[in-house]
Structure 1
Amino acid sequence: MRQLSTLLRREELESLRSRLELKIPPKNEWEEFRFEIDGYSGIVYKNGKVVYHEALVSLIESILMEDECIEIGSDEAGKGEREGPIVVAAVALDGEGRKFLRARGLLESKSVPKKRIEELAGLIREVSISSHVKRVSPEELRELWNRGNLNDLLSIWHFEVVKEVLKDTEACRIIVDSFDRRRLEEAFSQIKGIEVIIESGADLKYPSVAAASILAKFEYQKSDKTGIKWT
């Protein structure tokens, strides 16, 4: 079995602390504390990251706190890369789905080893209420870019994938990893009655956006490389 990691909010960290009978003192200035259960160990860091043996997944899942809101997150992969397409993804997760994925190592795609992207993408598709991915080939993007700004295009694509997910489920909030607030607000102004959060670094804070980043990265990794950089 292997080591997993996820990020804990302060109240989750305190819940874990209260559940542990044996807490081991930290070994360096970055650690909050260590713990061991039935021979399986874990380390909690001051930045909220917890690293733990896979056998402790049930414990970690039990201390995670998520409301029951169905949350839709969207993110993209390929912008700024040297080659390949741009991929935009949206994922809808309820509270149980968010806890399930977080306990099994869901982090934003840049923090996940490449070899785990495919595994996590499979778990996301398994537990998500709905998901949708849009792949824009370099050839298509070249043609579209001649007629518009890249951020305009990305804003439209984020809206499109979220709209596809909304065909399958209701949601109480939509979260988009921001790259251009003004353009995203304009694109999502068509959505009424649902809270829309546009936030830089949303993939680090919201599980649904982290899940979307994983799906987008997985589809990007599957795609052919073409030696084109989109910035």
Structure 2
Amino acid sequence: MGQSVIKLDPLALKKLVNYYTPNRLSKKPPYAVIAAKANGCTITAYESGKVMFQGDNHEEESSKWGSQFETKTNKTKTKSAIPKWINQDHIGTDEAGTGDYFGPITVAAVYATEKQQALLRELGVKDSKTMKDPTIQKIVKDILKTDIVYSSLTLKNEKYNQLQKRGWSQGRIKAWMHHHAIKNVLGKLDDSVDPSGILIDQFCEPDVFHRHVKATGAESHDGLTFMTKAESYSTPVAAASMIARYRYVYEMNQMSKEVGFDLQKGASKIVDQQAKRIIKSHGEDYLNQIAKVHFANTKKAKQ
């Protein structure tokens, strides 16, 4: 079993603890602030700021919190430098819904020329994490009126849960979706168009991404670049992030209408209560259609 170890400052450690609280294990080692299990990986965070990730997906999970980490072989991974073509025409991808119990995973890819990127920025395109959903929805409606080339994919919960039961980790699912979103965009471009680059908002190490894609039976695209917080540097990635969020929110609104109340985003205690309410009103099997049932929220709701 592989492992990764990273060191976080107090603020980052607090964010990590809050993130994994829904997946908390009942027992933890001495001096640990939390022990949790998520994405097929055991996470143990200590008072010192040291965090250990153990399991098949240790690289993928640890890369969410830092692009530099140690492995058993003491290899050091560093994040990519900003590409020289960041302001030139390129494809950018991002996803939404991966940490939310309710709702699907959505992925978007956007190709934009230098001129189109300037227009997107004028429309208000930037890091979606700095904006509220109503603002994102308004801007995306304007984005979709432009002549950019994009692809938006939505993985419904029922299919997501099927893939999970087949042994697909969430990392493999995301890589599979990013791969196909890029493929769709490339297929829409004229033969004369050769993008300066393809940039993915990094959620795992590059070699892990390529292994995930290969495991799905596909061949990964050439010339991929990976960056953490890529939406802060790349307008196409920022636009992709907003489109993915727009699609996720749309699906959540549709599901909320079906269940008769507003579903909560995230994976908090409120989500546990809503899952319990749904089990009582619609039955446990209904969760398979609207939730990522392998999350710890399902077990808590049933208890």
TM normalised by structure 1 equals 0.65
Matched, 1:196 2:216: no
Amino acid of the structure 1 residue aligned with 2:224: V
The separation in 2 between residues aligned to 1:85 and 1:165, in whole angstroms, is 21
TM-superposed CA distance for 1:126, in Å, is 2.4
Residues 104, 291 of structure 2: 8 Å contact kept: no
Amino acid of the structure 1 residue aligned with 2:101: R
2:119 match: secondary structure? helix
TM-superposed CA distance for 1:229, in Å, is 6.8
Amino acid of the structure 2 residue aligned with 1:139: E
The separation in 1 between residues aligned to 2:294 and 2:244, in whole angstroms, is 16
> Structure 2: any 5+ residue segments left out of the alignment?
1-84, 256-262, 264-289, 296-303
Counterpart position of 1:61? none
The separation in 2 between residues aligned to 1:105 and 1:206, in whole angstroms, is 13
The separation in 1 between residues aligned to 2:186 and 2:294, in whole angstroms, is 29
Counterpart position of 1:205? 233
Change (3 A) 1:229 1:91: farther
Counterpart position of 1:173? 197
Change (3 A) 1:67 1:190: closer
The separation in 1 between residues aligned to 2:145 and 2:294, in whole angstroms, is 31
The separation in 2 between residues aligned to 1:229 and 1:128, in whole angstroms, is 38
Counterpart position of 2:178? 158
Counterpart position of 2:145? 126
Residues 67, 95 of structure 1: 8 Å contact kept: no
The separation in 2 between residues aligned to 1:97 and 1:209, in whole angstroms, is 13
1:91 match: secondary structure? strand
> Structure 1: any 5+ residue segments left out of the alignment?
1-65
Amino acid of the structure 2 residue aligned with 1:122: K
Residues 150, 185 of structure 2: 8 Å contact kept: yes
Amino acid of the structure 1 residue aligned with 2:144: R
**RMSD of the alignment, in Å?**
2.2
TM-superposed CA distance for 1:209, in Å, is 0.6
Q: Report how many aligned residue pairs link the two structures.
A: 164
Counterpart position of 1:39? none
TM-superposed CA distance for 1:152, in Å, is 1.0
The separation in 2 between residues aligned to 1:132 and 1:108, in whole angstroms, is 19
Counterpart position of 1:80? 99
TM-superposed CA distance for 1:120, in Å, is 1.5
TM-superposed CA distance for 1:121, in Å, is 1.1
Amino acid of the structure 1 residue aligned with 2:120: L
Change (3 A) 1:101 1:79: same
CA displacement, residues 44-82 of structure 1 (integer Å, 9 cap, x when unaligned): xxxxxxxxxxxxxxxxxxxxxx97732111110000013
More strand by percentage = 1
Counterpart position of 2:247? 219
Counterpart position of 1:106? 125
Amino acid of the structure 2 residue aligned with 1:201: K
The separation in 2 between residues aligned to 1:190 and 1:126, in whole angstroms, is 31
1:184 match: secondary structure? helix
The separation in 2 between residues aligned to 1:178 and 1:227, in whole angstroms, is 24
Amino acid of the structure 1 residue aligned with 2:96: A
The separation in 1 between residues aligned to 2:135 and 2:293, in whole angstroms, is 25
- Which moves more between the two structures, 213-222 or 167-176? 167-176
Residues 80, 230 of structure 1: 8 Å contact kept: no
